[in-house]
Amino acid sequence: MSQNVLASASGVAVQASRRRTFAVISHPDAGKSTMTEALALHARVIGQAGAVHGKGDRRGVVSDWMAMEQQRGISVTSAALQFSYRDTVINLLDTPGHADFSEDTYRVLTAVDSAVMLLDAAKGLEPQTLKLFEVCRQRGIPVMTFINKWDRPGHDALALMDEIEQRIGLKPTPLTWPVGIAGQFQGVIDRRTGTFVRMERSPGGADLAIEEEMDPAEAAKRYGADWDTATEELDLLAMTGADHDQETFLAATSTPVLFGAAVANLGVRQLLNILVELAPPPAARPTAAGTDQPVDAAFSGFVFKMQANMNRAHRDQVAFMRICSGRFERGMIVTHAGTGKPFATKYAQQIFGQGRDTIDEAYPGDVVGLVNATALGIGDTLHVGERVQFPPLPSFPPEHFAVARTSDTSTFKRFRRGIEQLDGEGVVQVLRSEQRGDQAPVFAAVGPMQFEVAAFRLETEFGVKVQLDHLPYEVAARTDEAGREILRTESNVEVMTRVRDGALLAVFPHRWRMRTVAGRHPELRLDT
C-alpha cells in the first residue's frame, strides 16, 4: 500500500521537483573528469544516493572507468552519476568527450535539463565546447558556466566574459567574481550578497577546500590591489547590467558564471548550490503527437543511449533510459511505444563506470540502465498506460566518412548483421551510396574514433575483419530527390542514403565547396 501512496501524482511531482539532471560540456583537458571527481567527493562527504566510489578510494570511479576504456579501446558508457545534495537528487550525465567524441556525446544533451559549460581559464572557448554549446542552443538548454583552473595563470576575467558574449551570444551574468587574477586566487565575492568567501586549497589538496566568509573590510585590507581591482570590475559589471536573471537563464540567453578550480575543489560547492537553486527541474516533455507529457503523468521514458557488451562476461546490451514522467519501479512491465509490445524491467540498474547498483525505483530526471534490452533502440519510448511517444532523437551531421569493406565473402552475412547492430546503437551512421553498392557501405561519424570502435566491435563481436578507407568529405547536408539529380552534374560531391531514416545526404569535401555548389544551383535543397 505504501508504494501506492508514493506512486501518487503529487508524490511524483515532489520527487521530480527535487531532481536536477545536467551534463558538463567542455573541451578535452578543461577539467571535466576532475570536476566529476570533485562533485563525487562532495557526494561521498554528504552521503550519496547511488554508490559511486569505493569507500575511501579517492581515485575512484572516474579513473577506473578511463582505464577500462583505454584497455578495451572502446567507449564504455555514457552513464549517470547520481548523488544527493541539500535534499536534491543530482544526476550528472556523462558526455564522453575525449578521443571518442561522437554522436553519443550530443545525444546525452537530449536527456538533460541543463548543462554546465566548463572552461579552462587559460583557453576560453574551445572547439568541442562550441560544438556542444551549439546543441544546447538548438535545444534551448539553460547553461551555467564554470571558469576552471583559476588557480593558475589564465586570461583576464572580464576578457573571458567578453569572449562568451561575443562568440556565442550568451550574456554572462557572473554570480561570483574572483579576487586575484588567475594564478593568484584568493576567493570570490558573491555578487548577490556582497559577501567575500576566502578560498584555500586544503593541505594535500585532495580534500574539500577551505572556504570561509570574511569581512569585506578585512579582505580589502588583506588583499589590497587585488581587492580594488575586483571591486572596480564589479562596478563595471553592474553598469553593463550583467546581473543574474532567472528568466533569461531559463530561456538560454544568459548564463550565470562561477569561478573556481576543480582540482582543489575551489568553487565546486557554489556550483552545487546554483544547481539546486537555479537549474531547472524536469519539466513536461513534448511528445510526437504535439502534446506535453507532464512529469506527474503515468510512467514514461526514452532511450538515449545503447551499449552492447559492456560486460564481457554477460554479453549484455544495456539501454540507458531517461525517465520523463511517473514513478519507475523495477520489475514493472512497460510498453514499448514503437511496437506496442511489453518490456519487462527486471534488470534495472544504475550504472556508472564499473559500478552497478540495482535500482528499485526512480523518478523523472533519473537515468536507468535496462539490461538485456536487445528489443530497444535509440530514441525508443517506454511507457505504462495510455500510449505516449516522444519524438525521435535528432541525427547529428557527421563530419567523418569511410567506406567499410570485408575481403572475406564468407563473413558477409555477419558483416551485415554487425552493421545493423552498430547502426541501431548509433555507434556510426550507415550510408548507402549508389556508386559503391551494397557491398561497400559508408560509415559516417561525428568523431573519427567511432570508426575504430566500429571496426573493433565488428571483429570481436561478429568475427568480421573490415577495412576502412577514409573518404575525403567533411560536410553533410540533407537534400532531396531533385537535389540528387542536380548534384549528379557536380564533381567532388556524392549523395548517399542514410539507412536509419532514409534521409538523403549530400557530402562535400569542404564547406566552401558546398557553398559554391549551392550558389550555382539556387533551387538546390541543402540543409545542414
Question: DSSP 3-state assignment of 184?
Answer: coil
Nearest distance in Å: CB 150, ligand GDP: 7
Who contacts 86 (Cβ-Cβ below 8 Å, separation ≥6)? Answer: 272, 273, 276
Nearest distance in Å: CB 33, ligand GDP: 3
Span 263-282, contacts to ligand GDP by CB under 6 A: 263
Output DSSP code: residue 263: G
* Residue 128 vs 381, nearer CB to ligand GDP: 128
Q: Which of 19, 21, 23, 33 binds ligand GDP (CB under 6 A)?
A: 33
Output DSSP code: residue 512: H
Task: Choose the binding region for ligand GDP from 3-11, 145-153, 225-233, 298-306 (rule: CB under 6 A).
Answer: 145-153
* Residue 154 vs 441, nearer CB to ligand GDP: 154
Question: DSSP 3-state assignment of 375?
Answer: coil
Nearest distance in Å: CB 265, ligand GDP: 9
Tell me if 34 contacts ligand GDP by CB under 6 A: yes
Nearest distance in Å: CB 207, ligand GDP: 15
Q: Which of 6, 29, 201, 456 binds ligand GDP (CB under 6 A)?
A: 29
The number of CA neighbours under 13 Å toward the Cβ of 177 is 29
How far from 102 is each of 111, 136, 258, 452, 519, CA to CA, in Å? 16, 16, 28, 12, 31
Task: Choose the binding region for ligand GDP from 108-116, 143-151, 193-201, 284-292 (rule: CB under 6 A).
Answer: 143-151
Q: What is the largest CA-CA distance in the chain?
A: 80
Nearest distance in Å: CB 15, ligand GDP: 31
Quote the CA–CA distance of 95 and 32 in Å, as a whole number: 9
Nearest distance in Å: CB 29, ligand GDP: 4
Quote the CA–CA distance of 180 and 183 in Å, as a whole number: 8
* Residue 96 vs 483, nearer CB to ligand GDP: 96
- Angle of helix 216-239 relative to helix 157-168, nearest 10 degrees, comes to 30
x-or-dash string of contact with ligand GDP, 321-360, rule CB under 6 A: ----------------------------------------
What the block records as the C-alpha cell of 282 is: 524536469
The answer to whether 96 is a known ligand-binding residue is: yes
Nearest distance in Å: CB 271, ligand GDP: 12
| Contact (Cβ atoms closer than 8 angstroms) between residue 495 and residue 508 | no
Task: Give pairs for 517-523: CB < 8 Å, separation 24+.
Answer: 517/487, 517/490, 517/493, 520/490, 521/486, 523/482, 523/486
Tell me if 32 contacts ligand GDP by CB under 6 A: yes
Q: Which of 26, 110, 129, 254 binds ligand GDP (CB under 6 A)?
A: 26
The answer to whether 97 is a known ligand-binding residue is: yes
Who contacts 477 (Cβ-Cβ below 8 Å, separation ≥6)? Answer: 397, 505, 506, 508, 514, 526, 527, 528
* Nearest 10 degrees: Cα torsion 122, 124, 128, 131: 180
The answer to whether 94 is a known ligand-binding residue is: yes
Task: Choose the binding region for ligand GDP from 27-35, 85-93, 283-291, 387-395 (rule: CB under 6 A).
Answer: 27-35
Q: Which of 11, 28, 280, 424 binds ligand GDP (CB under 6 A)?
A: 28
Nearest distance in Å: CB 63, ligand GDP: 9
Quote the CA–CA distance of 117 and 145 in Å, as a whole number: 5
Tell me if 31 contacts ligand GDP by CB under 6 A: yes
Span 148-207, contacts to ligand GDP by CB under 6 A: 148-149, 151-152
x-or-dash string of contact with ligand GDP, 236-265, rule CB under 6 A: -------------------------xxx--
x-or-dash string of contact with ligand GDP, 61-100, rule CB under 6 A: -------------------------------------x--
Quote the CA–CA distance of 459 and 462 in Å, as a whole number: 6
| Contact (Cβ atoms closer than 8 angstroms) between residue 21 and residue 364 | no
| Residue-level length of the chain | 528
Nearest distance in Å: CB 460, ligand GDP: 27
Which positions make up the binding site? 94-98
Which positions make up the binding site for GTP? 94-98
- Which residues bind to ligand GDP, rule: CB under 6 A? 26, 28-34, 98, 148-149, 151-152, 261-263
